[in-house]
Amino acid sequence: MCGFAGFINLNNQPLNSHVLKAMTDIQEHRGPDDQGMVGFSLFKDLKVDVIDNETAEFSHLHAGIGFNRLSILDLSKKGHQPMISHCGNYILAYNGETYNALSFREGLIAKGHPIQSKTDSEVILYLYIEYGIDKMLDLLNGMFAFIIVDLKLRKSFIVRDQLGIKPMYIYKTSTILMFSSEIKSFTKHPEFKAELNTNHLDEYLLFRYCAHDRTLYRDVKQVPPGHYYEISEDEIKVKEYWSYKMVDKRDINLKDAVELLDTTFKESIKSQLMSDVLVGCQLSGGIDSSLVTTYAREFFNANMDTFSIVFSDKDYSEEEFINYVTNHTNSDSHRYQYSNQYAFENFFKATWHLDQPISIPNTLGIKRLAERAKENVTVLLSGEGADELFGGYSRYHDLSCRYNMNLKGYAKMPILGGKIQNKYDLAQTPEDFFIMSSSAMSLKDFKTFSSANDIQSVLTQRKELFPKQGDMIKRASTYDLKTYMVDLLNRQDKMTMAHSVENRVPFLDRNMVELVARLPSELLVKKCNDIRHLNKSNTYTKYILKELAVKRFNTGFVYRNKSGFPLPVKDLFLKTKMNELIEDQLLPGIKSRGVFDFNAVSKIWNKKENEFSKSDIKNLWMFFAFETWAELFLDAK
């Protein structure tokens, strides 16, 4: 796990190594173990040079890459990056872990490739030399973002992994293309100016984040999951190399499917325990991280401690379930108290590391966990991705009921009918219903706070990411994998890497993902035929994973109501110095910025003397998170 940044001067201007060094230094937290820089000329005279920062300008070079290394595999200097091939024609800067990479090592050596290290990065470099970009990517199973410079082809390739586990950003004008693991590196280049992209503001309002290639910054794009940029002198192309392919229903029963899932999950855990540094597990007490911990301990005897956030307030604490799992697995448990004081002190710090507004309050809990876990481990496994892959949210049950039950008939009944119509909005298409069920703001509030007030444009953008054909549950899962999950993964990456900790996600192993794509959707979200169970989603969601879990945990633990790692946000707003920050800085900032209707925001805030509703707290969080980000990045405070 590492981080890199760089730029290509499309007008062949000389490389300024001091700018490159500044872009690299600002994300040193991603890799404190080693740093390197390489300059190259791609379009004119083909050259490559290691940069020692003694010289400011290199007239014969027009592009450069800076790299910060967090050593995980082969801790020696042989893993130094950027990595230049033995022949001098290829350069690689690689962030991530490719779990099957070393299985290709001996074969590449037998073909004559001079691989010296036991890093996955060097294997990736020579896989490219042997097979080219598309065949190489077809082989890889892991999480990664990298750039390969091919001087022979006079091309560069900037790649993001299949599911977007690792971040990658692009900033492009007519004269320059910048790339980075974190957007903040762009701020160190004199040609970059952080400006709000107002075209994406409504999407942020509705969902708290921007999906696919979009960001809140003008001219800054994410490399979409499963895509790569191909850069040559004549053109820049964006190509999709992988997509989540839903397959027609497999003729498989629950028992056989659970056994197949069990085998595949074991293989994923085994591969993701590969490390030359200590590995731990991020244990929330939910079934996803509990399964990760249990499999690692039970099948591979992993000497793996668990790391958890706990609360003094029992209304928020999952410590009862953390105790159950740590006792069950006989693992050493490290628990760290979360406090609103910590949240206040780290609100701006976490925003700076995230490069965007904090979309979910528990982001601060993840930062706290990583900060303390670093005292013991460098790698953390987590249960991220299971809810999107297996259909774990209540909205999947709602969609299944709406799609499979005759709710229109029930909607005609007195009392019950009104509740059904209000919850399921039967006039909507199933696609619109599911998309809107994942929104963070009601349509009523959206109309209040949106200046453009163009809900259809936002929905049209989102529906482009919703598959047009196939099973409805699988289509919904694919949408979540492309949208909400990518934002959650970005949060995991940025908060753990803020403290130089690598986060791995065994549920998103490529073999796991492709197995689930082949399973019948009824094994993911069990069909409900009982009108009395409309609000009992936990009995039906993530069905096959829960059936796997009951083989190791008691039924009450597995089928309890989902909690979702809540934080005491109202107390943060009203009972800490955050209250002063809001009154003295954030509210005046919102007023002067003019992006949101200040009177409407103030109207909500002034309810504090009485009582905030849940939607009030969510909306206030979003406004304050946005203003914090804007002050840090747009105002450069």
- As a whole number, mean pLDDT of residues 61-83 equals 92
- As a whole number, mean pLDDT of residues 359-382 equals 96
Enter the DSSP assignment of 244: -
Query: For residue 74, what pLDDT is reported?
Result: 80
Calpha distance 287→328 (Å, rounded)? 13
Residue bearing the bigger pLDDT, 225 or 564: 225
Domain boundary, last residue among 240, 265, 285: 240
Q: Is residue 533 part of a domain?
A: no
Q: Is residue 54 part of a domain?
A: yes
For the whole model, what pTM was predicted?
Answer: 0.95
**pLDDT above 80: residue 77:** yes
Query: SS3 for 517-538, per residue?
Result: HHCCHHHCCCCCCCHHHCCCHH
**pLDDT above 90: residue 204:** yes
507 and 520 assigned to the same domain: yes
**pLDDT above 70: residue 566:** no
371 and 467 assigned to the same domain: no
What are 34-63's pLDDT values in tens digits?
Answer: 999 999 999 888 888 888 766 667 888 999
Q: Which of 526, 551, 561 is nearest to 265 (CA)?
A: 551
Query: For residue 565, what pLDDT is reported?
Result: 58
Q: Which residue has the tokens 């062949």?
A: 12
490 and 475 assigned to the same domain: no
573 and 547 assigned to the same domain: no
Question: Token pair for residue 526?
Answer: 């069990």
Enter the DSSP assignment of 131: H
75 and 191 assigned to the same domain: yes
Domain count, the chain: 4
577 and 551 assigned to the same domain: no
Q: How confident is the model at residue 263 (pLDDT cuts 50, 70, 90)?
A: very high
**pLDDT above 70: residue 121:** yes
Calpha distance 392→562 (Å, rounded)? 9
- As a whole number, mean pLDDT of residues 567-587 equals 93
Q: For the chain, give the percent of residues with pLDDT over 70.
A: 98
CA distances from 358 to 350, 625, 632 (A): 8, 6, 13
Q: For the chain, give the percent of residues with pLDDT over 90.
A: 80
382 and 492 assigned to the same domain: yes
6 and 94 assigned to the same domain: yes
343 and 309 assigned to the same domain: yes
- As a whole number, mean pLDDT of residues 461-486 equals 96
Calpha distance 231→176 (Å, rounded)? 12
Helix axes 484-497, 340-354, angle to 10 degrees: 110
Q: How confident is the model at residue 148 (pLDDT cuts 50, 70, 90)?
A: very high
**pLDDT above 90: residue 592:** yes
Q: How confident is the model at residue 283 (pLDDT cuts 50, 70, 90)?
A: very high
Q: How confident is the model at residue 267 (pLDDT cuts 50, 70, 90)?
A: very high
Calpha distance 601→613 (Å, rounded)? 14
Query: For residue 422, what pLDDT is reported?
Result: 79
Query: For residue 315, what pLDDT is reported?
Result: 73
Q: Is residue 277 part of a domain?
A: yes
278 and 142 assigned to the same domain: no
**pLDDT above 80: residue 606:** yes
Q: How confident is the model at residue 248 (pLDDT cuts 50, 70, 90)?
A: low
Domain boundary, last residue among 214, 240, 266: 240
Q: Please count the residues of the chain.
A: 637
Q: Is 89 helix (H, G, I), strand (E, B) or coil?
A: coil
Q: Residue 529 contacts by C-beta under 8 Å, 6 or more apart in sequence? A: 404, 405
- As a whole number, mean pLDDT of residues 487-501 equals 98
Least reliable range by pLDDT among 14-23, 114-123, 309-318, 450-459:
309-318
Query: SS3 for 107-137, per residue?
Result: HHHHCCCCCCCCCHHHHHHHHHHHHCHHHHH
What is the Rg, in whole angstroms, of the alpha carbon atoms belonging to the chain?
25
Domain boundary, last residue among 240, 265, 283: 240
**pLDDT above 90: residue 246:** no
Where in the sequence is the domain holding 512, given as residue range(s)? 254-386+485-525+543-558
- As a whole number, mean pLDDT of residues 496-503 equals 97
What are 532-555's pLDDT values in tens digits?
Answer: 899 899 999 999 999 999 999 999
Query: For residue 184, what pLDDT is reported?
Result: 98
Query: For residue 451, what pLDDT is reported?
Result: 81
Find out whether 291 and 543 touch, Cβ atoms under 8 Å. Answer: no
- Quote the mean pLDDT of the chain: 93
Calpha distance 583→255 (Å, rounded)? 58
Enter the DSSP assignment of 143: E
Q: How confident is the model at residue 314 (pLDDT cuts 50, 70, 90)?
A: confident
Residue bearing the bigger pLDDT, 398 or 56: 398
**pLDDT above 80: residue 411:** no
**pLDDT above 90: residue 368:** yes
Neighbours of 294 (CB within 10 A): 21
Q: Is residue 76 part of a domain?
A: yes
Query: For residue 54, what pLDDT is reported?
Result: 63
